[in-house]
Amino acid sequence: MNMEFTGEMWFWRGPAPWHFVTVPDEQCGELEAAAALVTYGWGMIPVTARIGGTGWATSLWPKDGRYIVPVKASVRKAEGLEVGDPVTVRLTVDA
């Protein structure tokens, strides 16, 4: 399964701070249907993500009935991303 969407980069300041982009509601339904086939626990979905020219392997995290994409520091640096920036994300769900 492949998908593309645009969302805002946001920062979670919790005990392990991280940057994310939230998957829009319409794509979350598709991901939820695929989750049972690919999840490795806690509802995490393994994906290959791409922002601009930078790709990486990660997992979508379930949060508040949706999914969020963690964006590594190396990706943010390579693509010049800051909190609040609109970001186009391409995902391939790893089966």
Mean pLDDT for 79-91 is 97
CATH architecture, domain defined by 8-86:
Beta Barrel (2.40)
Question: pLDDT confidence of 37, banded at 50, 70, 90?
Answer: confident
pTM equals 0.89
Mean pLDDT across the chain: 92
Does 64 score more than 80 pLDDT?
A: yes
Q: How far is CA 39 from CA 30, 43, 77, in A?
A: 14, 6, 29
Instruction: Give the dihedral of Cα atoms 2, 76, 35, 27; nearest 10 deg.
Output: -60
